[in-house]
Amino acid sequence: MKEKISSLKEQFIAEIANADSAELLEAIRIAFLGKKGYITDLLKGLRDVPNEDKKEAGQLINALKNEVEAGIADKAKSIEEEALLGAIRSAKKYNPTIPSNAKSGSYHPITLIQRELEGIFDSMGFTVEDYPEIVDDYSCFEAVNVPKDHPARDMQDTYYIENGQLLKTQTSAAQNFIMRKYGAPLRAIFPGRCFRNESTDACHENTFFQMEGMMIDKSISISNLIYFMKTMLSEVFQRDVTVRLRPGFFPFTEPGFELDINCQICGGTGCPSCKNSGWLELCPCGMIHPNVLREGGIDPEEYTGFAFGLGLTRLAMMKYGVKDIRDFNSGNLKALSQFKNN
């Protein structure tokens, strides 16, 4: 019995090493763990083992079974990851060297992705709102629970203009206006250009686009938020993308989350586009803080809601395989014109 078990173990190790598809893996699973599989056979064979050896043989069979189950689960995960990587590698990638057809015009990739998202949210009952780029301190900060001396203001280096107004640092600046305009219930998205006085790199620009979203109604919960985020991402990518949700702090949410996307440039192994972390902060979100609802004229005892602030320019990077965010503002028509067919 012992030899049989150890030779089955060797056979499993050899077969699993060569399994490179979900179909092959399933065949191995059935051969080893199925009703008529090797391990069931071993268990049946226990009745012929002498009583004094039964306990040890039983333990060895169980250990083999656990090993086979764990080996199959590990392999299934790596096959799935490999398939995801394959999809990322074969997705149409932006190529800055393709010669352009300068005769015909084309939309900027941000316009393309913005319109696509507007279509997705429109089909889910959201209205599309607009808001100025020059705003006052109240709408950008105070109305969303960021008072004058609040340390959260340090998170965003603001461009102030001489009359005391400022260049919108976040699309959250429109939250209060939209709540006051529609009251509750409401579903709205509001894309817009944001400005922050920060140094640039492959994933940071000082001028970039966000798309804010808000849904307010009776009994809106985190599960509604997760549903809308998932639907949005699967519609945009038309394939599975790996995301992670982790706690995040924003004065205007309670609780707040950071939603990161697995870097679609390197597949998560690390590259300059994701600052070598394999992840890119994409869409912070959370349940709207009661103070923000109250300031927008909505009773937080009666209504709850979620809000998100999608990094639209980063989403375009991930969708189109653009390695450097600065390319979007480059004005390089040769490079940008290739997006018209996306």
Choose, by CB under 6 A, the member of 139, 170, 264, 273 that binds ligand FA5: 170
Choose, by CB under 6 A, the member of 178, 307, 318, 322 that binds ligand FA5: 307
**CB atoms closer than 10 angstroms to residue 287:** 20
Helix pair 312-320, 222-237: axis angle to 10 deg:
40
Q: 143, 175 in Cβ contact below 8 A? A: yes
For residue 311, state whether it binds ligand FA5 (rule: CB under 6 A): yes
For residue 196, state whether it binds ligand FA5 (rule: CB under 6 A): yes
Phi-psi label, residue 69: left if phi above 0, alpha if psi -120 to 50, beta otherwise: alpha
Choose, by CB under 6 A, the member of 38, 190, 205, 339 that binds ligand FA5: 205
The piece of 87-95, 109-117, 202-210, 222-230 that touches ligand FA5 (CB under 6 A) is 202-210
Report, in Å, the least distance between residue 212 CB and ligand FA5.
6
Of 121, 321, 80, the C-alpha closest to 228 is 121
| Stretch 30-59 residues interacting with ligand FA5 (CB under 6 A) | none
- Looking at residue 150, its amino acid is H
Report, in Å, the least distance between residue 208 CB and ligand FA5.
4
For residue 195, state whether it binds ligand FA5 (rule: CB under 6 A): no
DSSP state of 99: P
CA distance 321 to 319: 6
Q: 131, 190 in Cβ contact below 8 A? A: yes
Nearer to ligand FA5, 38 or 279 (CB): 279
Residue 144's SS3 state is: helix
For residue 172, state whether it binds ligand FA5 (rule: CB under 6 A): yes
Choose, by CB under 6 A, the member of 9, 153, 181, 204 that binds ligand FA5: 204
Choose, by CB under 6 A, the member of 314, 316, 322, 328 that binds ligand FA5: 314
Distances (CA, A) of 83 to 74, 124, 159, 239, 318: 14, 30, 44, 11, 17
Secondary structure (DSSP) of 14-30:
HHHHH--SHHHHHHHHH
For residue 69, state whether it binds ligand FA5 (rule: CB under 6 A): no
Nearer to ligand FA5, 72 or 325 (CB): 325
For residue 273, state whether it binds ligand FA5 (rule: CB under 6 A): no
Number of residues that bind ligand FA5 (CB under 6 A): 25
Nearer to ligand FA5, 8 or 325 (CB): 325
The piece of 10-18, 53-61, 215-223, 308-316 that touches ligand FA5 (CB under 6 A) is 308-316
For residue 282, state whether it binds ligand FA5 (rule: CB under 6 A): yes
**CB atoms closer than 10 angstroms to residue 298:** 23
For residue 328, state whether it binds ligand FA5 (rule: CB under 6 A): no
Q: 171, 191 in Cβ contact below 8 A? A: yes
Show Cβ contacts of residue 17 under 8 Å, excluding neighbours closer than 6 positions: none
Binding site for ligand FA5 (CB under 6 A): 170, 172, 196, 198, 204-205, 208, 210, 212, 250, 252-253, 256, 281-282, 284-286, 307-309, 311, 313-314, 325
